[in-house]
Amino acid sequence: MPLVEGVRERTVETNGVQLAILDAGDPDAPLIVLAHGFPELAYSWRHQIPALVSAGYRVVAPDQRGYGRSSRPEPIDDYDIIHLTGDLVGLLDALDRETAVFVGHDWGSMVVWHMGLLAPERVEAVVGMSVPYMPRPPLPPTELMRNMAGDGFFYILYFQEPGVADANLGADPAKTLRRMFAGLPSSSLADGLGEALADMAAADGRGFVERLPEPAELPGWLSQAELDHYVEEYTRTGFTGGINWYRNFDRNWRLTEQLTDAHVGVPSLFVAGAADPVLIMSPPSIGEPWLDDHRGSVIIDGAGHWVQQEVPDQVNEALLGFLGSLDNRRAQQ
């Protein structure tokens, strides 16, 4: 499924794994690395790649470790934040580039924020989407989640037990992906989203997929052909690789004690949909004091969690404005 004229689909060796990448644009142009989230693929950036290439950038989007055509290691520990950021550092090495602007969505956002902390010398700037920067908490994350959820259901805690969520999500990939992408309202918090979220938290023994509403039809931003592409890939791979990222929340916390009170010093931007449930749990304002060169938080009305797919024109406008400010800075140096 071609994304843009001249896109190069290939595999690179990095950090002990193989990453399938989409590589587009002038190989010598400023580099943008796009890091997807769960349950996504490099394909999730299909609307951003052409716009960024047209603006004069080289764009590389990997299927990250555990996803798509990339390696899916068996050990759960192989999906901790050290491995995930190491993959992106190794990707730069494989491309023979010193630095890049890193853009992430969902889990990819958490990875690129950590790139700004763990490998700042390789990061020109960072853009997080849907998941804002959050400073390292005082307690292991799952302990905080259990305190928050009480007796209720919380999907990240449900994902912790190996095999359980894997079977639930993998039983019918088409249903899982259809409901995850299109089940929750994205127009406003008042448009049924609050009720849907309350139902998802009910302590009634249901699995994850059963809690997601079944959409009456696909939204305008997601065609059947686009959904089919995701379904085909996840039918082949299952969901375990991506779920394993969630099983490292506490391990990541233990591995990053040195990041307590650490700041992201590179230029940063945050982009999210106004109806994204993540913003309820993690308001962007909490982490902004730890971003030393933050260029703003762009919250887009009429969009939910899948912001770069739902409202690509607004997301591309925000990205290109941010990148333009970096280009201006380069010109002044």
Give the catalytic positions in this structure: 106, 305
Radius of gyration of the chain, Cα coordinates, nearest whole angstrom: 19
CA separation for the pair 141, 183 (Å, rounded): 27
User: 156: how many CB neighbours lie within 10 A of its CB?
Assistant: 15
Q: Give kind and range of the element (H or E) at residue 197.
A: helix 194-200
| Whole-Å CA distances, 17 to 55, 100, 148, 322 | 31, 20, 36, 32
**H or E segment at 114?**
helix 107-118
* Residue keyed to tokens 């739902």: 310
Strand order in the sheet with 17-24: 8-14, 17-24, 58-62, 31-35, 100-105, 123-129, 264-273, 291-300
Q: Which of 64, 2, 115, 50 has the alpha carbon at shortest distance from 316?
A: 50
- Residue 184: what residue type? L
For residues 238 and 166, the answer to whether their CB atoms sit within 8 Å is yes
Instruction: Write the DSSP symbol of residue 1.
Output: -
Q: For the beta carbon of residue 204, count every other beta carbon within 10 angstroms.
A: 10
DSSP for 32-97 reads EEEE--TT--GGGGTTHHHHHHHTT-EEEEE--TTSTTS---S-GGGGSHHHHHHHHHHHHHHHT-
